[in-house]
Structure 1
């Protein structure tokens, strides 16, 4: 049995898919992945063959966040059409040796290309979201689309989701249908419905990111997809951790920031003001120490499952994986959201009382100090420890079993009847 995983997005889109891959491979299932070339080392290091999709996502995100490479709204439809075609080609090539199911996440145009391949092959397709507000619901609004803001007078969530569907048809539907015509597939009337299906999966922990009912979609919440971890921390990081009291971790993962030097300075000064040592993660933000004092250490790759239980607090961008891993460790958080799902997770951290949500993407010394004061309060730590006991760890296993059942059901449905 072979499963193809497709994710065009940041590392936060890739890591959960690798968690699913671990579980599928334990059952004897062959797994291949299509992802941006930025993550070739990560994917292949996990033992999963990779077929790369398109250009560097790091450069695309860097341009969006920093404004160094602005992308005009009038070109979005054309770029989306190219992404559909590029993803279709990569997924079709990866599936050439046989494929029993396609699981996709990330940017909608890429997922649309992946579903078109699944449709062409006649195999099951599943779309997975990592946070509830990516999916239509009367309980929350959609993201405002690039270049097509919602009318300010429209505030009803259902009306906003209807406008969202119209916007996606305009921005992405034409390009998708133009490509489908070239590969012998019929046109799609509703782009968003085609990508999501009427039964998408939600790979988020029910305590941290609950799906609210009633809702029109038949959402399957599996729990968060977390890798098993167990990778030893680097020796120099172990030495730093052992040399003093637990530090405060500051990192933005695969998320650039507008002014890395300013963010690093503010972070180091704010953490020191709270009487703590500092652990800076370089990442795509390229954070670096502001001086040579021995109370600050810069870390590269490190297993967050092993690291986060040993720090006093985690200051981060609010990606689903980082938020969940910190919550699972029982470590207080400060979320400085930059884009996409990150404001959602910042709000959930604050609502659960397990940390603080920073107001806006650019911290100052006073604003970060105030947020750290909340996170480092003993009451917050006690609450974080209590919530940690509620965080499930079996989401990837649940999803793997569900996927294998889906494949088996599809095979049974397609099999010819056996004569008596």
Structure 2
């Protein structure tokens, strides 16, 4: 069996494919991943022996502003993504038995077109339920398309979301489809999602609620034990005192990173804790060189989060999943996208606090940290972690191979 996985996403969106690829290979499949050309993605996949085909522009450069704005804006970049993923997946899909895509709609649309042209089974996967249409939650607003004010009917909001997706991506996706000999589609969102998308999230942390129009298959989160050791200097810091508080915002480019870092460090110190400050893509840096603050770069979050008192982060699906699995209390400072959903979930589960607003100040972060550092929060976080499903990647791998072998219905 030969499987091609694809994602145009940040680190948290590529990491689950690492777990899925490893499980597929353990079951005897040949696996290849198409992902953004950022070095950390290639290194992570190479570290587990999985081949990666760099596809599309650097996500880090786009997020950090190093890539200048496109003259054509979102439609132009959408067209470039469709073409890049169609071209690269087409090149490597000869003899492929099944395709799986996740990430931004234009990239997924390019993969979907390959599946149609070559007659290969196709699966769309999401890492959070709120990106999938449901009467139980509203859609995530698309760029430049805020949700209609005063509308509380989720079905109506999802109907508008389909129209918004068509307006934003329709010209790029349909233009490419016609250029490769495929007919245009009038509902791009549902076309790429299919009638049976997969949901790769833990059913306690991020459950799919029934009844719903979509026949969603929830596999569990795609996680893989990370055996990479923590650096010696980080281990020395951890061993030198009580568990510190981790502060990091991953791929999110926070405004005024020095001010954010100062407020975060001061708030953690006020709780009598040491600080682990992750630079991330926002390049956070401390205001002083005190020995109670350790600055780190790329690290094994699975191992690290099991050594901390709490994790302060942006609330992306990847970091939230890892912190929940590790049993670490959390403070989520949501910026947008799926992050407000995960902030609500960790608060509802009693495993952390949703920060009040997107900008962490000393007072607001101190209040959230008091909740996260309370003994009852740690107890609840440990209890939720004990029930965390770790078989999601293996479940998805077996389902993919059954699909490839014709033992299950094609969800596309």
Shorter-chain TM-score: what band? Answer: over 0.9
Give the aligned partner of residue 24 of structure 1: 24
* Mapped partners of 2:92, 2:256: distance in 1: 39
Give the aligned partner of residue 196 of structure 1: 193
Decide whether the 8 Å contact of 1:253 with 1:285 is kept in 2.
yes
CA distances 1:274-295 after superposition (whole Å, capped 9, x unpaired): 0001111122121223212111
Query: 1:47 offset after TM fit, Å?
Result: 1.6
Decide whether the 8 Å contact of 1:34 with 1:94 is kept in 2.
no
Return the TM-score normalized by structure 1: 0.93
* Mapped partners of 2:308, 2:407: distance in 1: 47
* Mapped partners of 2:131, 2:199: distance in 1: 9
Instruction: Please list every run of 5 or more consecutive structure 1 residues that lacks an aligned counterpart in the other structure.
Output: 414-420
CA 1:125–1:272: 2 relative to 1, 3 Å: same
**Matching residue within 205, 208, 213 for 1:216:** 213
Query: 1:44 offset after TM fit, Å?
Result: 2.5
Give the aligned partner of residue 86 of structure 2: 88
- Equivalent runs, 1:48-197 vs 2, <5 Å: 48-63=50-65, 75-96=73-94, 98-197=95-194
* Mapped partners of 2:331, 2:229: distance in 1: 25
CA distances 1:123-158 after superposition (whole Å, capped 9, x unpaired): 111010000000000000012222233331322100
* Mapped partners of 2:172, 2:301: distance in 1: 39
* Mapped partners of 1:401, 1:315: distance in 2: 35
Query: 1:77 offset after TM fit, Å?
Result: 2.3
Instruction: Please list every run of 5 or more consecutive structure 2 residues that lacks an aligned counterpart in the other structure.
Output: none
Large movers: runs of 4+ above 3 Å: 68-72, 410-413
Decide whether the 8 Å contact of 2:328 with 2:378 is kept in 1.
yes
Decide whether the 8 Å contact of 1:124 with 1:410 is kept in 2.
no
Aligned length: 408
Give the aligned partner of residue 225 of structure 1: 222
Query: 1:71 offset after TM fit, Å?
Result: 7.0
* Mapped partners of 1:159, 1:136: distance in 2: 11
Give the aligned partner of residue 242 of structure 2: 245
Q: Structure 1 stretch 191-200 or stretch 281-290: which is displaced more?
A: 281-290
* Mapped partners of 2:134, 2:65: distance in 1: 31
Return the TM-score normalized by structure 2: 0.95
* Mapped partners of 2:274, 2:108: distance in 1: 42
* Mapped partners of 1:357, 1:84: distance in 2: 36
SS of alignment partner, residue 33 of structure 2? strand
Give the aligned partner of residue 367 of structure 1: 364
CA distances 1:67-106 after superposition (whole Å, capped 9, x unpaired): x96679x73223212211121112112224x211111100
